Amino acid sequence: MERNLHAYSLIKTLLVLIALATAACHREVALPPLPLSNITLTDKFFDVWPTSPTRAFVVGDRGKVLLTEDGGRHFKRIDIGTQLGVFGIQMADDQNGYLCGQDGLVMRTRDGGKSWERLNSRTNLFIFGLSFPDALHGFFVGDRALVLSTTNGGESFTKRQLQRLFPPELSDYALPYEEPVLYSASFLDVDHGWVVGELGRIWATENGGKSWDEQQQPLVAQWKRPLGPGDDARFADFILPTLFSVSFRDQKHGAACGLEGWVVQTDDGGKTWQFAHQSDKPGAAPDTLVPGAPQIPARDPLFSIDLFAGDQGITTGLTGTVLRLQPNGAWAHDPSVPAIPFPLSQVRFFDAQHGWIVGYGTILYTEDGGKTWRQCQG
């Protein structure tokens, strides 16, 4: 019995000493807070704009703007003073840049992205895309067929709706086709540009937006989906799939992509457009699918496309889909990109070797022309 009491006393003493030692450790060692990651799985990144081989801006939901200067090894967050979603960004040169987003958000930087000022866009509509051929001339596109243009670096804007005007006898029937959303713009210079959007709209201008021409008509004959019971034959060219992104490498060669996983391309400045075929892998024969015919399984929507380096092109989509332009004109699934089952919102290359892909919780970087990709951790 005495031995048990002695053992109990010894254990109690040891426990007291451990408690005191632990308390002493807590008093003397201040544990630093865990660092907050700039890239999380809950992030939604919508656009990226590289300004050098290793420097790029990334923008996304809740006003998030990130900057890397070392090829994505480290990022720093830039406070732009708003929690609104940022859908697009472009630096027109080293110092001047613009971004756009939710609720009519348009902002400008004049110091290389260190600080941003909000401009009066004169709208509360969502603005999804922008294109600036130089620091003064730019175009923004968005909801309800919105086009904003500026010739003075955002000091003032001209606002219009870029849509077809229907004759009075069709006005009642045309309501479902009015004010289509415009998602993307690509301007090569202050005069020549293209805009794409909902219902397969493709618009082009050769005079800086003073006048616009529709270009999607050649696609209508290629789209073999029959009209449904509620479709009106007078609006047959409004059954084309929505286009989310457009990219031109020069005044003749351009491509766009969109809702049903199709890429359309032109070799004559948009006078004619063709649906492009796809391949399962590089080097494989192009498929023989008919545009508009039922596809089982359905293709992923494609959200972005970038033509770069003279003859290269990449498009990205919903569940990590990445297609690469092949020498035969087909687009093949690219096995070099890590398998990521998340939406990939944007792809942009700075030059033939250095490029970025961003999406939901994802930032990827390549420095070898897309042969390998590194997932950035922030």
The answer to whether the CB of 349 falls within 8 A of the CB of 309 is: yes
Who wins on pLDDT, 227 or 104? 104
Token pair recorded at residue 167: 């004759």
Q: What is the spatial distance between Cα 76 and Cα 107, in angstroms, rounded to a whole number?
A: 19
DSSP 8-state secondary structure symbol assigned to residue 34: P
Residue given tokens 């449904």 in the structure block: 228
Q: What is the pLDDT of residues 326-360, one digit of tens each?
A: 999 999 999 999 999 999 999 999 999 999 999 99
Contact yes or no for 77/64 (Cβ under 8 A): yes
Specify the pairing of strand 254-258 against strand 138-142. Answer: unpaired
| 351 vs 13, residue with greater confidence | 351
**Average pLDDT of 162-181?**
94
H or E element that contains 243: strand 243-248
Q: In what helix (H) or strand (E) does residue 97 lie, and over which residues does it extend?
A: strand 97-101
- Cα separation of 362 and 360, whole Å? 5
Q: Which helix (H) or strand (E) holds 107?
A: strand 106-109
**pLDDT confidence bin for 295, thresholds 50/70/90:** confident
Per-residue pLDDT band at 296 (split at 50, 70, 90)? confident
Q: Which residue has the higher pLDDT, 198 or 295?
A: 198
- Residue 205, classified by CB atoms within 10 Å of its CB into exposed (0-12), middle (13-18) or buried (19+), is buried
Single-letter residue type at 231: D
Q: What is the CATH number of domain 39-375?
A: 2.130.10.10
- CA atoms 178, 182, 186, 189: torsion sign: positive
- What does the pLDDT read at residue 33? 62
| Tokens encoding 262 | 């199709």
Q: What 3-state class would DSSP assign to 104? A: helix
Return d(Cα 207, Cα 357) in angstroms, integer: 32
For residue 167, is the peptide bond before it cis, meaning its omega torsion is within 30 degrees of 0?
A: no
What is the C-alpha separation between 153 and 139, in angstroms, rounded? 10
* CA gap 55, 91 in Å, rounded: 12
Calpha distance 33→160 (Å, rounded): 50
b/e 55-89 (16+ beta carbons within 10 angstroms → b): bbbbbbbebbbbbbeebbeebeebebebebbbbbb
85, two tokens = 């979603």
Q: What confidence category does residue 240 fall into, taking pLDDT thresholds of 50, 70 and 90? A: very high
- 254-258/243-248 β-pairing: antiparallel
Name residue 254's beta-bridge partners. Answer: 248, 266
Distance between CA atoms of residues 252 and 366, nearest Å: 28
Q: Which helix (H) or strand (E) holds 175?
A: none
Question: Domain spans of the chain?
Answer: 1-31, 39-375
pLDDT of residue 3: 44
Instruction: Report the chain's mean pLDDT, rounded to a whole number.
Output: 92
**32-46, 143-157, 263-277: range with lowest mean pLDDT:** 32-46
Name the band, by pLDDT with cuts 50, 70 and 90, for residue 297. Answer: confident
Residues 6+ apart with CB under 8 A from 56: 48, 49, 50, 67, 68, 72, 350, 356
